Amino acid sequence: MATKTVLITGATRGIGRGIALGFAAAGYQVYGTGRASTTLSTGSSGNDWAKEKGIVLKQADVSDQPAMAAIMKEIQEKHGRLDCLINNAGVASNTPASGLDDDEIAKIIDTNFKAVFQCCQSYYKMQRKSGGGCIINISSVLGIVGTSLASVYSGTKGAVISMTKALAIEWANSGFRVNAICPGFIDTDMTEMIKKREAVYQKMLEYIPLKRLGTPEDLAAPALMLASDGASYITGQIIVVDGGLTAQ
């Protein structure tokens, strides 16, 4: 894997960080993006974990497609190609459906769906002359099942699933594989608000057959599998990593 490269959006924390560490351990040259300049600046102690593993972090908002395309091009020019793109960056909301305003709706859609599509598009345009590539979109079990306080979020994650399948078909003849991973409830800062409500947290655990939250590292293994040459016949698929939640 030493010559393979991967770009992971939203790699500075949570699921993205867990996937980045997993790919680095497997020998990939890992690049990641994040929005916060304070944790990405040179000499910042906030990204020591990345430096120690040889992970290169770059500041960029996924909604800024010229910036994202430039990062992809920089990686391609340095290494000859970008083997895998993992679209992980996203935003959540716990605003009741009746209380969502236009600004919040636009932010969720722009980050969770529009930016994911545009990153796929930029990657395709860059890599199609190089024989294709691998795209892994991080969706959510909430794109499969519904829950309260996640109306627009669930809608965007369901859209990512459908988009993944459509792109897999459209780009198959160009040598691209496009798959998605749907995490369940993962122990990150996005689930902190649930953990602080003990009764709600315990009730949630009761519904998960494995009786625990997932970890960011739990997502690294399926992502590595989908990115590997051993998955060369897998495209348009959705892998659910949720402790059995949606199997019921």
Kindly report, residue by residue over 69-112, the tens digit of the pLDDT. Answer: 999 999 999 999 999 999 999 999 889 999 999 999 999 999 99
Half-sphere exposure of 25 (CA within 13 A, CB side): 12
Q: Percentage of residues in the chain with pLDDT exceeding 90?
A: 82
CA distance 26 to 227: 11
Residue 123 has pLDDT above 80, yes or no: yes
Q: What is the pLDDT of residue 3?
A: 80
Q: Indicate if 124 belongs to the active site.
A: no
Q: Does domain 5-186+216-247 have CATH number 1.10.3720.10?
A: no
pLDDT confidence bin for 37, thresholds 50/70/90:
low
Q: Which of 153, 201, 207, 233 is catalytic?
A: 153
Write down the domain spans for the chain. Answer: 5-186+216-247
Q: What is the mean pLDDT of residues 19-37?
A: 93
Can you state the angle between helices 65-79 and 115-127, rounded to 10 degrees?
Answer: 30
Contact 205, 182 (CB under 8 A): no
pLDDT confidence bin for 44, thresholds 50/70/90:
very low
- The larger pLDDT score, comparing residue 148 to residue 165, is at 165
Q: What is the mean pLDDT of residues 221-239?
A: 98
pTM: 0.94
Reported as a single tens digit per residue, the pLDDT across 186-219 is 998 877 777 888 888 898 899 999 999 999 999 9
CA distance 48 to 44: 7
pLDDT confidence bin for 47, thresholds 50/70/90:
confident
Q: What is the pLDDT of residue 42?
A: 45
